[in-house]
Amino acid sequence: MAQSNTRLSPRQKMINLMYIVLTAMLALNVSSDVLDGFTQVEDGLARTNVNVNRRNASIYAELQSLSADNPAKMASWMVKADSVRQASLQLYQLIDSFKIAIVRQADGPDGSLTDIENRDDIDAASVVMLNPSTLRGADLRRRVDGFRDIVNRLMVDSVRSASVNAVLSTKPFRRKGILVAQNWEETKFDNQPVVAAITLLTKLQNDIRYAEGEALLSIAALSQGKSIAEITGAEMIANELNAFVVPQSKMVMRGGRYCADIVLAAVDTASRPTVYVGGRPIPGGHYEFTPGSAGTFNYSGYIEVPHPDGSVTRHDFRSDYTVIDPFATVSATMMNVLYAGIDNPISISVPGMPQSAIQASMTNGTLTRTANGWSARPANIGTDAVITVSADMAGRRQNIATHTFRVRKLPDPTPYLAIGNDRYKGGKPISKQAVAGSGGLKAAIDDGLLDIQFQVLGFEMIIFDSMGNAIPEVSAGAAFSQRQKDAIKRLGRGKRFFISRVRAKGPDGIERTLSPMEIIIN
């Protein structure tokens, strides 16, 4: 078989590129220049279809020659070749009928494909292809799907099969400015000028001929027990063998498993492949970079492999990597303390492992995952809480570490008067109005590490009369009682009183008596 008939020519590739560019220009303005450009692309595609058909006829003729030499062996293969040729021809002719119908809808019953008058008519294609009574567009989509399935059943090369699936794809597509995806036929024919619709259909015919040729190549390869590269004369000549070790990860945790694929790679040093990552060529195939943040990331690209016949095949790849922050662990062993009755924030991490792969559990309480880490809530004071950390390593659960915490009661809070945004804790002069305006007594732990409010249950206020006798007055819960308020009003400048027997209960449910506080009237 002639090698030149098995690949798209540079001219056809240029025509296809022009078709894409001109399609994009439709979104800007359907000017006469654009319409002229579509006419030129249509002519180029028509000529390309002729060339592709010649290539397919050449492959089919080779199959017929093989069948003449060995009819018994080739009988079943010729049935398959005839079926794909017939399916391609029927679909090709159906598209021709749609093209004629669109032109006649725009120019009248005498309209001609070779001389379209109303090239800018944007209604004709919709009327012919999207008419709900005929549903020609939906019927065309189903026939293209059927033809694609026929071809796929004959393909032996995954790369070529993916290429056929791409050019004959009829998946819904969301055009710019439209909120939802449209059916394939709507994207092709809705509001399209006649000349654009005709060009799109001719391009589809080109794709059908291309798919037919790929199917015939696969039949030729299978019938002779050869690869397509051998059939087309495009096999690589390897003149260097290299051994490579490809590990899943170079960082392995004790208890985990090290996994690597050891492979032998064949290289053609006279025709090096080109590696692309993110659309950018990577010289020598050596890919390196400096990550900017921690986490799990992935990247993808492809390798272009040149062949002796001048053609290039593309092989996609995808990989991922995990970035961890530099760290050192420093902890005070005497401070491994959790407080009972409250949620204690906990940070849990495993080097090289994403948070999603880490699990943890705790004795003597509950441990839950939060948006910023973990939260431990111990149950019983005096009983240690043990946190066990595990991770998913190579598909199996692996215990990583255990950590023991002592469970303690919350420290006693400090009583205070809320004076605006300040907390008055006694020992300094304060006005009677500020004391009365505070409403009563509050208590909290606010040592810079914990900020926990307690409920004040009651307190006594001790005031000394002129004879030095201590007069106790009992509060109304956390608020000043009326007798306490009256006593405060009678105090003069420089006088002082004490608040004692303060009873408070924290979130741990434990009631405690707090230290007294001295209040000096300014």
Domain identity same for 132 and 251? no
Residue 201 lies in a domain: yes
Same domain, 428 and 382: no
Would 286 be classed as within a structural domain?
Answer: yes
Is 159 found in the same domain as 185? yes
Please check the confidence at residue 57 and state whether its pLDDT lies above 70.
Answer: yes
Residues 204 and 244 in one domain: no
pLDDT score of 15: 63
Whether 102 shows a pLDDT value over 80: the answer reads: yes
Q: Percentage of residues in the chain with pLDDT exceeding 90?
A: 31
Give the residue among 519, 337, 374 at the shortest CA–CA distance from 434: 519
Long-range contacts of 56-63 (CB under 8 A, 24+ apart): 56/85, 56/88, 56/209, 56/212, 56/213, 56/216, 58/1, 58/2, 58/5, 59/1, 59/5, 59/6, 59/213, 59/216, 59/217, 59/220, 60/85, 60/216, 62/1, 62/220, 63/216, 63/219, 63/220, 63/223
Establish if 102 belongs to a structural domain: yes
Residues 293, 418, single domain; the answer is: no
Q: Answer with the one of 232, 259, 286 that is the final residue of a domain.
A: 232
Are both 304 and 181 inside the same structural domain?
no
Residue range(s) defining the domain that contains residue 256: 240-323
| Mean per-residue pLDDT over the chain, rounded | 82
Lowest-pLDDT range, 118-132, 231-245, 356-370? 231-245
DSSP state of 514: E
On whether both 292 and 228 belong to a single domain, the answer is no
Tokens of 106: 């725009």
Residues 147, 287, single domain; the answer is: no
Tell me, yes or no, whether 328 lies in a domain: no
Sequence-distant (6+) residues with CB within 8 A of 460 are: 472, 473, 474, 475, 499, 500, 501
Kindly state whether residues 251 and 187 are assigned to the same domain. Answer: no
Boundary of a domain, candidates 270, 295, 323: 323
Q: In the prediction, which pLDDT does 502 show?
A: 96
Residue 121 lies in a domain: yes
Answer yes or no: do 505 and 418 share one domain.
Answer: yes
Between residues 305 and 381, the one the model is more confident about: 381
Q: Is 497 exposed, middle or buried (0-12, 13-18, 19+ CB in 10 A)?
A: buried
Taking only the tens place, the pLDDT of each residue in 250-277 is 555 565 566 767 666 666 655 678 889 8
Total structural domains within the chain: 4
* Domain final position from 304, 323, 342: 323
Burial degree of 256 (CB within 10 A; 0-12, 13-18, 19+): middle
Instruction: Yes or no: say if 219 and 63 are a contact pair by the CB < 8 Å rule.
Output: yes
pLDDT digits (tens, 9 = 90+) for 433-490: 899 889 899 999 987 778 899 999 999 999 988 788 888 999 999 999 999 998 888 8
pLDDT of residue 103: 92
What letter represents residue 355's amino acid?
Answer: Q
* pLDDT of amino acid 396: 77
Q: Encode pLDDT of 173-225 as tens digits.
A: 877 767 778 889 988 898 888 888 898 898 899 999 999 988 998 888 888 87
Across 235-249, 318-332, 350-364, 507-521, the highest mean pLDDT is recorded for 507-521
- Same domain, yes or no: 52 and 167: yes
pLDDT interval class at 241 (50, 70, 90): low
| The pLDDT of residue 398 is above 90 | no
Alpha helices in 153-193 (DSSP H): 158-167, 184-189
pLDDT surpasses 60 at 40: no
Question: Measured between alpha carbons, how far is 206 from 140 in angstroms, rounded to an integer?
Answer: 15
pLDDT at 412: 92
CATH number where 350 lies: 2.60.40.10
Is residue 229 very low, low, confident or very high in pLDDT (cuts 50, 70, 90)?
Answer: low
Does residue 101 lie within any of the structural domains? yes
Per-residue confidence (pLDDT) for residue 28, from 0 to 100 = 43
Looking at residue 19, what is its pLDDT? Answer: 60
For residue 287, being part of any structural domain is answered with yes
Residues 400-446 have pLDDT tens digits of 888 999 999 999 999 999 998 899 999 899 998 899 889 899 999 98
Looking at the structure, do residues 215 and 263 belong to the same domain, yes or no? Answer: no
